[in-house]
Structure 1
Amino acid sequence: MKFMKLGTRPDTFYTEEATRSVISDIPNDLVLQISNINYHLHQFSLLPKCGLLRKLCVDSDDSSTVTIELHDIPGGEDAFELCAKYCYGIIINLSAHNFVSAYCAAKFLRMTEAVEKGNLVLKLEAFFNSCILVGWKDSIITLQTAVKLTEWSENLGIIRRCVDSIVGKILTPPAKVTWSYTYTRIGFNKEQQMVPKDWWTEDISDLDIDLFRCIIIAIQSTHMLPPQLIGEALHVYACRWLPDTTKITRPESSGSQTDEVTDKHRKVLEIIVNTIPSDKGSVSVGFLLRLLSIANYLGASTVTKTELTRRASLQLEEATVSDLLFPSHSSSNQHYYDIELVAAVLESFLLLWRRTSPAPTESTQFMRSIRKIGKLIDYYVQAVARDVNLPVSKVLSVAEALPDSARKDHDDLYRAINIYLKVKRKLYVIYITKIKSSSPVQQFNNFQDPMFFMFYLSYHIDHVFLSSKHSCVRLLKQKHPDLSKGDKKRLCRNLDCQKLSPEVRSHAVKNERLPLRTVVQVLFFEQEKGSYEQTTRSAGIPTTPAPSESSARDDQKMKRPDKKTQLEEGKKKGGERRNRGDRGERI
């Protein structure tokens, strides 16, 4: 950082109560009132250099003390004191941190060449042009301090010249960058590596959002940098100033200070969204989804949410499961994950996908795209299915949204359903164990878990007081950790047994968590497939089984059971399920 030192005399200003004065043998004859401070100074020191003070004192009597109010001086008492010390020849140090206030105050006091040759304004302009604008960080610091005096800085051209200087350095080829910059990426070593293309992104993230937008817009207008670099700058700024919603599960309590912070965050978010380049891929889909989560948390405008949803849906096939996992910020939701966010983006993607009529040469690419989305959503459902508070309706809202063509097979969908049923059943067993084995005191402590409390009421009402058909019991069972038969049927109604691999079908037949109807469908398909293969072999028609099926038969070295045996096994398992009832399903 560059400095300019003016003056030679030591500092002789002192404070006495609310008065600032200077040590001198000559009596004070000039009183300047700034805010709540009175400056007792001398006309012979200030008037030769300050055109404004000279004009205000022109009609005063030389023998009297003149009192002048300067409450509207830019920069306040600190800026005035710099100018006053300069008039007394006292040493002052100027840098990018105090240049703006000193320059505006000097302009206000008219410390120009017209008043005295080599006056303060001329020296400050020379320092600005030869030192501040030449430096990278000096320009940024000066621009940031100009926020406090925006109107003066704009009128004097400080903001425009700083922005031009910063943009010019950003457009400099990395090989020609010789100045110091901030770059804290993990694994980067300035001494051993070349200057990265995004070397400038962290330093400009220190700026106020309005100044940051000015720089980004100026860069975009040159068309000299790729959209991805501009997108990276927006990403760095968002990480610096926006809240991390992955670490916030519920909205903070309201208050004047909180509302002010929220409004500031909302402004930053909306400016970032409006500044994102229109080019697809200028920012990652993970960044867009994070912005959408922040928009939901901050209560951003519908326009902002819609734009983020649209942009994220255009790049959804680039997403990973971790990109989709955000906590819910709604106080009414007991489940952890924000399913509505993913459902909205998926709906936008499918709407665009259905509207697009692919040419015959492009149909393969479109199918590959929708299949990739199908895999992504099934993996996502597997991840969120581990949330014990997740209702069936939320699972179905994303699992059922996909068209049939999105899934080449239903193995991943089956795994998601199985995980969800296993988690629900496991919690059911845990709660039953707590009720039957814990003491009354322990049960009272368990009531801190609202879900356990609802289950406790449901269990005792169902077994002691009321019929299971009573509306109160049905209401309580909505909070029941285990699933009803109807919910299990709804969960499995989109599961196509014909699209399950042999290994998954083998697991499904033995899965006691599945509804009986689904198991029977799997057995029926196995039977039909076995009959078809037997018929083709009898007719001498060669069959080419899938590699997985062939290897499974070779490993097992055994024949499939005949039709009669399979039907008997199905009836036997069905009878066992009916005898056991819901309580008989084990993990």
Structure 2
Amino acid sequence: MAVCCDLEADINGEETFLVNKKIICSYSGRLSKLLGKSTGANRNKVIFHDFPGGAENFELMARFCYNNGEIDVNPSNISLLYSAAEFMEMNDSVSGNCNLLEKTKKCVEEIGYWTWSDLLVALKHCQDFQQVATSSGILEKCLDSIVGRLAITSEASPCASTSSPDSSGFRLSCDTRSTESFKNSFSRANWWFEDLSVLSPDLIEMLVKAMVSRKYNHAIIGRFLFYYQKSKFFTVSSDEKCKVLEVVIDMLYTLDPSSVPFKSLFGILRVVLGLNISKSGRNKLESMIGSQMDQATLDTLLIPSPNGTSYLYDVNLVLRFIKAFLHGGGWRSSPTRMKKVASLMDLYIAEVAPDPLLRSSKFLALVVSLPDSARDCWDELYHAMDVYLEVHAGLSEEEKLKICCALNYEKLSSDACIHLSRNTNFPSKPAVQALVSQQLKLKNLLQGTKNTKPDTDSPRKVSETRGKAKKGEGSEQIVLHSGKLDVSADNENLREHLQGMQWRVIELEKLCKKMQNQMAKLMKSKVSTHSTARSLPRLCS
């Protein structure tokens, strides 16, 4: 006998179904109440604008009704049936037949006993109907079950592929022997990477958050996120790549920085440079890279400048890295990290200095990006400045002086000071300052040497030695310039004056070395003999 189709159901404007009113109403409390209240022609037609899962799910629900409440509830349809049962209020059947809502709830409660393959199937269907799966709570339960199993087998991996539910699915129960057998069937920590890389970025975000809340190994999570990013980029569009990157960066940002490899972060950065991701994502990535700046190399920092800019390398990006490094504060407890970054920046500045299009303000920003204490010696920076000033000979005197003012003359070696005094690329004032600084250092060194008492038993002889030094027996007098320097004086006279000072510095260096050698011999002689009859050696010949 043919079934009378006396009800027209319009589902979300997608499709219209002709169904038997009596059969459907016997299972759906909502439909029974809706049709009982309607009058006239509308009694034979219903319109749903928000039916969960759309026409496909309505058809699935109708089959349940037409089969006298018999249907196979499985991982591929449980989220749809559960949401349909709730929407249609199928919890109290008029005919006394099976309750669909109760049946799906019971299946959901048994998720913990599903095979791994069943969980994967359920997750894939959840992402196709994410809103339905989220509202029903099934998505959350699937993810919890997935993470729970990963937590148990965090150091394991399946021996065979888990893609096939028939061949390699496994069940997890509360039985201890079952759990041990489950754990012993794996050998690698990344066995699940390929299985879960098919999930959408939104589900990956939910998955990682659940793993972090369960205190899952951050290093393994990080490796999975890098794997996920690479695997997704083979199949998705440019817009989808941006979404993948933003989710991966956001999730990496929640992990322990020490568990995120610097090299992998830079790999993501090179991909990001070619895409238009959000500013927030860029900032987080740059912050993570900057916090590990001491692990960078010169090659990694030499990133070409963005399109539309004239200079060769992306100097602004490196400055942001340095800012993130200093903001992190980890270098305070480890001065070695700061020294590493300073050495790296010296190499970088020397590399970008010959760029004829690099503005002086950017070059100066690089020079002063680290605190003065980061460097024990400023020779490398001086040579980089020398190259920059030579290439940018057209800079104004004011611009040159700004750059030179950033130089710490007290941390220049004697050779660098001498080179600076002859260097025509530098303005006159810095050259004089370098020599004055060098003479101050020599004066302090000589005074320290003279204040040393090599032989307390012979004060007279020490006095004689100091007297000879005071008379100038070896050109040990120090020429110290104080007060304001008239840098506007005649250039030729100033050059002659600088040459004279340069000669004096050379002589003082020789004298200092000679005095140090003499003092060393004196101290050695004092240790070997206690005789006070010997005269003190001459310090100057």
Q: Above 0.5 in TM-score?
A: yes
Pick closer, same or farther for the CA change 1:262–1:229 going to 2, 3 Å. Answer: closer
Q: In the TM superposition, what is the alpha-carbon distance from 1:496 to its structure 2 partner? A: 5.1
Residue aligning to 2:57: 79
CA distance in 2, matches of 1:233, 1:542: 66
Q: Distance in 1 between matches of 2:156 and 2:289?
A: 36
Aligned to 2:258: 281
* Of 493-502 and 148-157, the range deviating more from structure 2: 493-502
Residue 57 to residue 346, structure 1, CA distance change in 2 (3 Å): closer
In structure 2, what is the equivalent of residue 32 of structure 1? Answer: 9
Q: Return the offset for 1:397.
A: 0.3
1:374 deviation in Å?
A: 0.8
Query: CA RMSD for the aligned pairs?
Result: 5.5
Question: Deviations along 1:237-269, whole A, 9 cap, x unmatched?
Answer: 667889xxxxxxxxxxxxxxx9x9899689748
Offset, 1:120: 5.6
How do 1:288-437 residues align onto structure 2 when only pairs under 5 Å count?
300=279, 314-326=291-303, 333-335=309-311, 337-347=313-323, 349-350=325-326, 366=335, 368-385=336-353, 387-414=355-382, 416-417=384-385, 420=388, 424=391
Counterpart for residue 474 of structure 2? none
How far, CA to CA, are the matches of 1:414 and 1:102 in structure 2?
Answer: 74
CA offsets 1:14-71 (integer angstroms, 9 cap, x no match): xxxxxxxxxx96663232222153222345764555555556567999xx99322233
Is the contact made by 2:389 and 2:426 (CA closer than 8 Å) also made in structure 1?
no
The alpha-carbon deviation at position 396 of structure 1 amounts to 1.4
| Partner in structure 2 of residue 228 of structure 1 | 219
Percent identical: 26
2:140 paired with 1:172: no
Structure 1 residue identity aligned to 2:83: C
Task: Give me the whole-angstrom Cα distance separating, in 2, the residues matched to 1:52 and 1:314.
Answer: 58
**Hey, what's the Cα distance between the residues in 2 that align with 1:382 and 1:94?**
68
CA distance in 1, matches of 2:514, 2:37: 124
Task: Report if aligned partners of 1:485, 1:515 keep a CA contact under 8 Å in 2.
Answer: no
SS at structure 2 position matched to 1:39: strand
Question: Which amino acid letter does the alignment assign opposite residue 296 of structure 2?
Answer: A
Letter in 2 for 1:157: G
**Contact 1:73/1:105 (8 A) holds in 2:** yes
How far has the Cα of 1:164 moved from its partner?
A: 1.3
Question: Contact 1:288 / 1:312 at 8 angstroms: preserved in 2?
Answer: yes
1:103 is aligned, of 78, 82, 92, to 82
Pair 497,120 (structure 1): closer, same or farther in 2 beyond 3 Å: same
**2:10 counterpart SS class:** strand
Give the distance between the partners of 2:37 and 2:327, measured in 1 at CA.
78
Shift of 1:391: 1.4
Partner SS, residue 258 of structure 2? coil
SS at match of 2:55: helix
Aligned counterpart, 1:67: 45
Q: Relative to structure 1, is the Cα distance of residues 510 and 290 closer, same or farther in structure 2, using a 3 angstrom cutoff?
A: farther
Counterpart residue type for residue 101 of structure 1: L
Could you tell me how far 1:79 is from its partner in structure 2?
A: 1.2
Q: Hey, what does 1:197 align to over in structure 2?
A: 189
Q: Does 1:484 align with 2:395?
A: yes
Deviations 1:252-291 (A, max 9, x none): xxxxxx9x98996897488537x614x4524345677889
Matched, 1:216 2:208: yes
Q: Distance in 2 between matches of 1:540 and 1:74?
A: 91
Q: Equivalences for 1:433-512 in 2 at 5 Å?
A: 483-484=394-395, 486=397, 487=399, 490-491=402-403, 494=407, 499=412
C-alpha separation in 1, matches of 2:385 and 2:18: 82
In the alignment, residue 153 of structure 2 is paired with which amino acid?
P
* Structure 1 equivalent of residue 529 of structure 2: none
Which residue does 1:541 correspond to in 2? 517
CA 101–538 in structure 1, closer or farther in 2 if over 3 Å, else same = closer
Distance 1:71 1:350, change over 3 A: closer
Cα distance change of structure 1 residues 311 and 117 upon mapping to structure 2, 3 Å threshold: same
Equivalent position SS for 1:389: coil
CA distance in 2 between counterparts of 1:334 and 1:234 reads 35
Comparing 394-403 with 413-422, greater Cα deviation is found at 413-422
- 8 Å CA contact 1:113–1:122 kept in 2: the answer is no
Distance 2:44 2:411 in 1: 99
Output the CA distance in 2 between the equivalents of 1:526 and 1:141: 82
Q: Separation in 1 of the partners of 2:298 and 2:284? A: 22
Report the Cα distance in structure 1 between the residues aligned to 2:149 and 2:119, rounded to whole angstroms: 10
- SS where residue 484 of structure 1 aligns? coil
Q: For the Cα contact (< 8 Å) 2:401–2:427, is it kept in 1?
A: no
Query: Is the alpha carbon distance of 1:420 and 1:195 closer, same or farther for their aligned partners in structure 2, counting shifts above 3 Å?
Result: farther
Offset, 1:499: 3.8
Letter in 1 for 2:258: G
Structure 1 pair 414/297, CA: closer, same or farther in 2 (3 Å)?
farther
Structure-2 separation of matches of 1:123 and 1:229: 38
Mapped contact 2:157–2:191 kept (Cα < 8 A): no
Residues 529 and 354 of structure 1: CA distance in aligned 2, closer, same or farther (over 3 Å): farther
TM-score, normalised relative to structure 2: 0.57
Q: How much does 1:155 deviate? A: 4.7
Structure 2 letter corresponding to 1:373: V
- SS class of match (2:337): helix
* Bigger CA radius of gyration: 2
Distance 2:229 2:354 in 1: 30
Given the superposition, is the C-alpha separation of residues 307 and 28 from structure 1 closer, same or farther in structure 2, using an over 3 Å criterion? Answer: closer
The answer to whether the 8 A contact 1:181-1:203 is kept is: yes
Paired AA for residue 59 in structure 2: E
Local SS of the residue matching 2:358: coil
Q: Secondary structure at the match of 1:401?
A: coil
Aligned equivalent of 1:564: none
Q: Could you tell me whether the CA contact under 8 Å between 1:29 and 1:65 is conserved in 2?
A: no
Q: Secondary structure at the match of 2:17?
A: strand
Shift of 1:80: 1.2
Cα contact 2:10–2:17 (8 A) shared by 1: yes
Q: Deviations over 1:498-541 (max 9, x none)?
A: 74697x899999999x4486899799798566424543677693
The verdict on how the C-alpha distance between 1:160 and 1:539 changes in structure 2, with shifts beyond 3 A counting, is: closer
1 CA distance for matches of 2:324 and 2:207?
Answer: 32
Report the AA paired with residue 76 of structure 1. G
| Distance (Å, rounded) in 1 between the aligned partners of 2:27 and 2:262 | 59
Contact 1:30 1:67 in 2 (8 A): yes
Q: Distance in 2 between matches of 1:300 and 1:340?
A: 15
Residue 139 of structure 1 aligns to a residue whose secondary structure is: helix
- Quote the Cα distance in structure 2 between the aligned partners of 1:39 and 1:54: 17
User: Counterpart in 2 of 1:435?
Assistant: none
Within 2, Cα distance between the matches of 1:385 and 1:150? Answer: 54
